[in-house]
Every structure is written in C-alpha cells, then in structure tokens.
Amino acid sequence: MKYFSTRNFELRRSAAEAITEGIAPDGGLYLPEQFLPFPMEALAGMSQTEISVAVLSRLFDDFTEAELAEAVAASYDTAFENGDISPLSPVGDAYSMELWHGPTCAFKDVALSLLPRLLTMAAKKCGIADEICILTATSGDTGSAALSGFSGVPGTRIIVFYPDGGVSPAQKKQMVTCDGKNTAVCAVRGNFDDAQTGVKNIFATVTPAGNMRFSSANSINIGRLAPQIAYYFKSYRDLLNAGRISLGDPVNFVVPTGNFGDILAGYFAKQMGLPVGRLVCASNENNVLSDFFASGTYDRRRDFHLTSSPSMDILISSNLERLLCMLCGAEKTAEMMKSLKESGAYTLSEETRAALAKEFWAAWADDEETKAVIRRYYEKHHYLMDPHTAVGFAVYEKWLASDQANEAPTVILSTASPYKFSRTVLAALDLPASEDEFADMERLARETGTAIPAPLAAVARRPVVHTAICEVADMPAYVYGKTEEKEWAR
C-alpha cells in the first residue's frame, strides 16, 4: 500500500514512511492509494482487538497482523475502563458512543495510546536510528493524550503547544503536570490555529539539531487517524449484536469536530464498506465547517470565538484537505490550499459541492444551546455529557428536524468526559461553580451521583512541571533550542 501527498500524486511513500514523516514534504497530508474492504460478514463475531487489527492491516501492509495485534493489545488491554474503548449508551432514541474511558478521558486516547507503538515499529521498518521528536499543537485534548502516550517511550521526545487561555483548567493541568523526561509543553500567545500553523511551519523550515527528526501526533499523521476508523466498525458491531440492526442496514453518525479528523475517520470507514447512512458534522460557534457545507466556500476570514467547547475552537480544519483530494484530485487540492493560505478562502465547484451533500450534513450550536442540551438530557434521561458532546446532540436534534433526516439508527460520538469541563456542566445544571476546577468536579459528583474518572481525580494532586510560554513567532526558536538539549531535566 502506497501513500501519496494530497498535493502531489507523484510524491509517494510506504505506510511506515508516511507514519514516521507525519506530514509530506510539500505540506500535504498522506492519503492511501486505496481502501481495502473490511470483512463485514465476520464483524458480529469479532472482538474489539480483531476489529482494530482488521482495519489497520488493510491500511498498513508494512506490518504483519501479528505485529499489529501485539501493538493493539498492549495499547488497549489495560488502559481503558472495563476494557471497552467505545461503549454505546442508549440516550433517548439515539446512542452515545463514549470515547472517553481512556487514560486522559478524551477520544484522542484511542489513537494516541496506539500511535507511539506504530511510530516506533515504523521507524524500525524504515531503518531509522535517529531520535524522533513529536511536534503537536492542541486545542485541548490531543496534547494530554499525546503526552500520556509518548511519555517514557524510548527513542522519542514530544513537544506540545497549546493556546494560552484557550483550554479548560483540567485540560491544562493534565498537560503541565506530565513529568515524563522526554516531554515538553509550551503555551502559545494565540489561538489553536496560530499554534497549528506554527507547527506546520516548523516542519517546513526547522532542521532539528543532532540525530533527531520530526514527526506529528496530530491527526495530520495517518498513523494517528487510522485507529479512529475502528470504533465506527465496533459501534456497528454492538448494534448488530444488540439486535438493533441487521447486517447491511445503514447507521448515521453525528460527530462534533473542529479539525475534521474524527468525522473523516467515519468517511474512511464508509470507503472500507461500513454501511454509513449520513455523516453529520457538528460545529460550535466557530462554524467554518457548517458554513462550508452550506455554501461550498471555505472562509477562515471571520471572528474567532472562545467557547465552552474549546477543543472545537478551530478555523483551519486540516483534515478537510484529505477529503478534498479524494473528491477533486491532488492538483486542484494544491490550488485550494494555496488560496486558503494566501487569501483565506476557496470555493468548490458545483459538482464537488453536490458530491459532498450526498455524504455530509452540517449545522452548529452556540453556547446557550449547548448548555440547554446538557441540562435537558440530564433532566430527561439522567445522562451527563460534556459541552462537545452536547454540541453533537444539539446538531442531532436540528438534523432530525430537517428534510434530510432518515429512519436509520443514529450514533453521536461523545468525545470527552463531562468532568473535564465540570464548571461548564455545573453552570448548565444551574449549580454554582468555583474558581477551582477540581472542587467543581467534586461538586458535580455529589450533585449527580456520578463518579469522577480516576485519571482526572489523580491529576489534581500532581505538581506543575511545565511553565514555558512563547509568542507564535518564537515557536521555531523554542523547538530548535529544545532539540539542542541532550536531556530535558525535571
């Protein structure tokens, strides 16, 4: 299986090379040349591990099934509560796929528990002896999950940038207390798009010191995106085994997303044979994606909003580039990405816009709608959700009221524990909050009779070890300086 750049079909790599590089030299993202079909007829009897291995082996043929099975088992067997990485919970007439039962209580754990093993295996396949330095920008959850996954992994280091003031207190505490000796965390005076653009520029302009090379843990890395495909198949298996559907019946998925990676994984699952009815893209007030699907124009020239769902506070949705390439080809995609960089916008042809409309539906919800959904679903179903998941449920309701809705079962992806955003959840339930995020967690637990996830309870007691902060323009110098250091002392 070869991987090509979304901006140049002639720029090709093996799967292992694509994983180790993270991003293509021309700035494009790696995309597989084909999607091999998943064995749907066997799905009902497959274990969670077998589903993940079946997905990964059809994308990464550099690895044997035995190697992948060992990596998946080592990543998931003890890291997730009750051994289930994506339990389904019925909520009204829909289903919530809870992706937050891992070590940092967010959906990013599913991929970032596995990526370090994929990356080290890939480096070995490529004969790479250099130390690999992971560069990551985060809007909240990727950073803590990546730090958790890579902390202490031999032959790797990781540098995480997050927007100063743009993540929740719990998200920040998870990152700045990570004490792995191969980890570095730096706040950026700017928003997530500034941090993400800064990381992409570092890939293009900075040569690390010594025997070191860069890679990425964001979903721009195909090794990060691929594991997310598996939980779409797993949720379908759960519905099959519950007797809710028969093999071949369509299922809709509502995905709260900012960078477009999680919903793109669902589109990839469909390309591999999963019977997906409609993919519903849910945005918050930074509604660049919902506007894009409505108008056919992607325009980042708009106000940036800090919302109660900060992991979605994004105006440049990097993974959309992969979808554009699949629909328009590399040459046209390169033109659109050039236009986005230079003018801040691009527009699809009517043909491409019509093709998108067959696969996706999109809408957005503001903070007031988000809080109302949290309160309503708790009062009606005693189901507690975080603000990102609430955006998904709010958009689900709008989709049901549209003329595009269908009769198929619908799964809403629940992307984070409500306890990562306890202050917002308390406010939504008309309960007083404090200035102490961890005291708020305890209040939320008492008031709702639910339990604080163990990883979040533990982080409250950890000391802060990362205090760096820099301007966006200083990110390259910060990274180069860190690569010059032989050891990162704690």
Question: Residue 108 catalytic?
Answer: yes
CA–CA distances in Å: residue 280 to residues 71, 276, 410:
31, 11, 10
Burial class (CB in 10 A: 0-12, 13-18, 19+), 357: middle
Distance CA 403, CA 363 (A): 13
Token pair of 95 as six digits: 């289903």
Give, for 145, the enclosing helix (H) or strand (E). helix 141-150
Cβ neighbors of 293 (< 8 A, separation 6 or more) are 281, 356, 357, 360, 361, 362
Q: 231 in helix, strand or coil?
A: helix
b/e per residue 470-483 (b: at least 16 CB within 10 A):
bebeebbebbeebb
Say which of 108, 172, 200, 270 is annotated catalytic.
108
The partner residues of 30 in beta bridges, in order of sequence, read 5
Distance CA 445, CA 134 (A): 36
| 379: number of Cβ within 10 Å | 10
Catalytic positions, please?
Answer: 108
